[in-house]
Structure 1
Amino acid sequence: MKIFLAGASGTIGSQIVVQLVARGHEVVGTTRSATKTGALRLLGAEPVIVDALDPESVADAVAKAEPEVIVHQLTALSGPINFRQYKLMGAATNRLRTEGTDHLLAAARAVGVRRFVAQSNAQWMERTGGPVADEDGRIEPNPPADAAEAVAALRYLEDSVTGITWAEGIALRYGGFYGPGTSISTAPDAMMAEELRKRRSPIVGGGGGVLSLVHITDAASATVAAVERGRAGIYHVADDDPAPVRDWLPDLARVLGAKPPRRVPAWLVRALAGTAAVDMMTRARGISSEKTKRELGWTLQYPSWRTGFAKGLE
């Protein structure tokens, strides 16, 4: 198929390009930077420079590509994340999930795209209903004030994409990424690894927040499966081992050769980093990906972070 991949030069975007090309698809991949076009060509994609917040730029690029499928992987969070810039990158990502989604959907409808696959995430599943949620679970309706804009942007993206009637609109709620190119890897500039080695990534409170993780290559293969045979709706993309932060963070530190993470009271982190950070570490819910495996025939290379950390970080 002819596929238009918005955000092709990002961490997961580049992985998706490789897997789509390997399966014989033709990929037009967007980037904001002319310096990244050569890398996209080496991966097998036809690069195009697009400003995702400019509706004319998006419409023109999609019209020229005439794709059958659009994949929306636009964020402003690619590459090593500097904590000092996190709020700015978060605000930019919110715009890409709202305005950028609108522009891509309008362009998709204009050229008759038959499937639209978009990136969501599972960080803000509703905080009631047990430790693990399936696709019937909803985004948290009452998030902390310092996460309200980000959560609203996720909800907007999911509602907009799954609400279309002229194509198969698919939202993928990914678990937390780890592996090459992500913040959890052995690379010298990997943010999470650096913070753990400096003992600046503690277990907050009881560390009971349940997170679902997914290796970046597994996240990409689930996306390819959705591109090829997904039906309208929401799919979860994570490994089979959702676990509390207090379980997986010490294991990650050990694999990275770092000292065990400190334990810090929730009230202190709330004062320093805000309520959202505490909520994530103490109240988050994991996700089940059984629907994705059942309906899309998705197979995990790393069914658990326990083996994924040991074998899949480099």
Structure 2
Amino acid sequence: MGKQLVPRLVRAGHEVFAMTRNASNKAMLSKLGAVPVIADALDRRQVEAAVRQANPEVIVHQLTAIDHIDTRNFDRSFAATNRLRMEGTDNLLAAGRAVGVRRFVAQSNGAFTYARTGGPVKSEADPLDPSPVSQMASMVAAVGHLEKAVLGAGWTEGIVLRYGAFYGPGTSMAPGSEQIEMIRRGKFPVVGKGGGVWSFVHVADAAEATVAAVEGGTRGVYNIVDDDPAAVADWLPEVARMLGARKPMRVPRFVGRLAAGEAGVVLMTELRGASNAKAKRELGWRPAHPSWRQGLAVS
């Protein structure tokens, strides 16, 4: 996201300070147009020093540490990111309050977190999952903490962006990525009826929406997803067709549970999608890739 977002903010006329804990990233961030600031997001004193150095009007919180998602160990895959969404969020908010930032924009998750009841597509008014499976409970709790903290910060204008499942450059669904290659090789089956509904978003469109949230909108939550939520039984065979692969096999839920864990079964069979109507209406945002059907074909 940072590689997509920073140049867009710079082109929009913003002075951007980019926080990283690795000094090795300084040259890359400078090339993107940002002023690099070195700080560990989990060290409150370092974060406060970094924010004081930048003295920003707006903080954009994009802290994550997701390298690889293993659905059999979903909680482990998200452990570092969960900590950033809790401790990292609290540290950024404290630092932002100290310098009086007027707006705080934070990345959240609208792809895996909505309650698995009711209709297939959710709005921002719908609740997060109140009873997630055990492997997903810590991730949903961390998202809930982030959203409550940001929206409850009365001293600033808190905006939460619930991104859909990313695809495009640098994502887990980029050309040649492990996930795409699994589909190509026929190793990504449809579990059960494949009724889980996914909402995707191209990472470039998510970055554009983030710029829009820096400059517009009001306190609240926005789903940042494309126009085409789709059940696994629809999107997975279509992506296989795009790749010239054979149609994915179908396996029963108990086989899926053995191979992908309980979280994997939820993602395949029970997930709910999200509506982008509010983001279109209030942020004036329109995804350049309105459907994963076209976006994945050209990404």
Q: Distance in 1 between matches of 2:10 and 2:273?
A: 31
One-letter identity of the residue aligned with 1:263: R
- Which of 121, 126, 130 is residue 115 of structure 2 equivalent to? 126
* Aligned position for 1:19: 8
Q: Distance in 2 between matches of 1:193 and 1:36?
A: 28
Confirm whether residue 116 of structure 1 aligns to residue 104 of structure 2. Answer: yes
The 5 A counterparts of 1:24-173 are: 24-78=13-67, 81=68, 83=70, 87-122=75-110, 123-173=112-162
Task: Single out whichever of 44-53 and 190-199 deviates more from structure 2.
Answer: 190-199
Write out per-residue CA displacement over residues 248-276 of structure 1, whole angstroms, 9 at most, x where no aligned residue: 11222222333322212111122333212
* Aligned position for 2:187: 200
Q: Given that residues 75 and 135 in structure 2 are in contact (C-alpha distance below 8 angstroms), is that contact kept between their aligned partners in structure 1?
A: no
Q: Distance in 2 between matches of 1:33 and 1:259?
A: 42
Q: Distance in 2 between matches of 1:89 and 1:68?
A: 33
The 5 A counterparts of 1:207-222 are: 207-222=194-209
Distance 1:150 1:191, change over 3 A: same
Number of residue pairs matched? 297
Shift of 1:71: 0.5
Shift of 1:299: 1.6
SS at match of 1:26: coil
Task: Single out whichever of 34-43 and 51-60 deviates more from structure 2.
Answer: 34-43
Q: Distance in 1 between matches of 2:41 and 2:246?
A: 42
Shift of 1:202: 1.5
* Aligned position for 2:250: 263
Aligned sequence identity (%): 56
Distance 1:130 1:118, change over 3 A: same
Q: Distance in 2 between matches of 1:13 and 1:66?
A: 20
Give TM-score scaled by structure 1 length.
0.91
SS at match of 1:138: coil
Give the alignment's Cα RMSD to 1 decimal.
Answer: 1.5
* Aligned position for 1:283: 270
One-letter identity of the residue aligned with 1:133: K
Task: Single out whichever of 299-308 and 98-107 deviates more from structure 2.
Answer: 299-308
Shift of 1:82: 6.7
Which residues of structure 2 form unaligned runs of 5+? none
Which residues of structure 1 form unaligned runs of 5+? 1-11
Q: Distance in 1 between matches of 2:245 and 2:22?
A: 35
Write out per-residue CA displacement over residues 138-169 of structure 1, whole angstroms, 9 at most, x where no aligned residue: 11000001111111111111111111100111
Shift of 1:85: 8.4
Q: Given that residues 108 and 163 in structure 2 are in contact (C-alpha distance below 8 angstroms), is that contact kept between their aligned partners in structure 1?
A: yes
